[in-house]
Amino acid sequence: MKKPFLIIAIALVLSVIPMYSFAVKGETLHSWKWYPYIDPEQEIISQDNPENSSDNPPNNQSNEDQQPSGENETNVPNNDANMPKGDLPGWKQVFSDDFEGVTLPKGSFKDCKEEGCQGLPEPTQSNWGAYPNTYDDTAGLCNKGSNRCPTGQKYKFGGVYDPEKTVSIVKENGDGVMKIDMFNDGQKNHVAAMIPKKMAGKKYGRYAIRFKTTKTPGYKLAWLLWADNEEKCKGCEIDFPELELDKKIAGFVHPKGGGQQDSYETGASFDQWHTAVTEWTPGKIKFYLDGKEVKQSGSGKTESTNNIPDEPMSWIIQSESSLDPSSVAEPNSKATIWISWVAGWEYEGKQ
Ligand SMILES: [Ca+2]
């Protein structure tokens, strides 16, 4: 090889090395907390609950069925629209947002990161961060063959987190709501993972959210607590509410260090207003739906106590593409989430 060509060849190799390092580093930095563990019980739930079959309209009807039903649902009054305010026994309230007093059109949640977005009015600016639009959702990671894919599968549609195009704060039926309009652009899904900043990095806490969604196939909620330091709390994940919108609301507690998760079934549909509460205290997790303790599948217990996470975790209102092959988005479909209020408390008991 002549000398000039050798120099060019060496220069090319050197220029590629930092790009490669950045790509690897980027994935390590950015993917550590945004995928939910796959829940093997999803299959069991589908099989055990014959009701689910009626919730799965044929794909060719899903658009007609879902869109009008979503719009109609907004006419149902939100009877528990009042957000809980103040401390509770053992709990100090540190966060609440009922989305009253501020309306923000789509496009407002731009340049978002976990730490916050750019140019939002208060209190939204202080309250909310979001995964940026450079992050693939879990199915998107899977489709790219990422080693962060928890299922090892490929999906018809992956997604990108896209708060700018999906999230608004609007008034509907007199209630201020955060509205998340996930959608499919024909190629991929646009979804959102919203982060209540004031509940980030807490060790123990009480997390409450009032919400409903359309039942659109192909999209899911994986609203979860995820360890800030994944290495110190391996496998730690607390999911509620979770599952595809055309299934029933479920919850999952993954023990620290891995092993069998506890599964909770509510039998409740996503398309009615519900209040979901997660209570995380030393050695114990409890879920409540509409004020009632949720029971564990199988045992009927109302709490998890096996190797409960004991490191700081953050609350991520993560909504994304389906990870269930029986729930597939129609091209150009839309799935809407309404959140009436969100509230959080710090644990004041003995640690
Ligand atoms: Ca509200």
318 CA to centre of ligand 1 in angstroms: 19
CATH top class, domain 31-347: mainly beta
Residue 276: Cβ within 10 Å count: 23
pLDDT at position 170 is 97
pTM comes to: 0.81
Residues 6+ apart with CB under 8 A from 327: 56, 217, 218, 219, 220, 244, 245, 246, 247
CA separation for the pair 223, 209 (Å, rounded): 10
Residues 6+ apart with CB under 8 A from 56: 217, 246, 326, 327
Confidence of residue 7 (pLDDT cuts 50, 70, 90): low
Rounded average pLDDT over 7-21: 45
pLDDT at position 76 is 62
- Lowest-confidence pick of 10-24, 39-53, 218-232, 327-341: 39-53
Confidence of residue 56 (pLDDT cuts 50, 70, 90): very low
176 CA to centre of ligand 1 in angstroms: 4
pLDDT at position 82 is 85
pLDDT in tens, 227-265: 999 999 999 999 999 999 999 999 999 999 999 999 999
175 CA to centre of ligand 1 in angstroms: 5
Instruction: List the one residue out of 327, 313, 318 whose CA is nearest residue 281.
Output: 313
7 CA to centre of ligand 1 in angstroms: 64
pLDDT at position 8 is 52
315 CA to centre of ligand 1 in angstroms: 19
Average pLDDT taken over every residue of the chain: 84
The structural domains of the chain, with segments of one domain joined by +, span 31-347
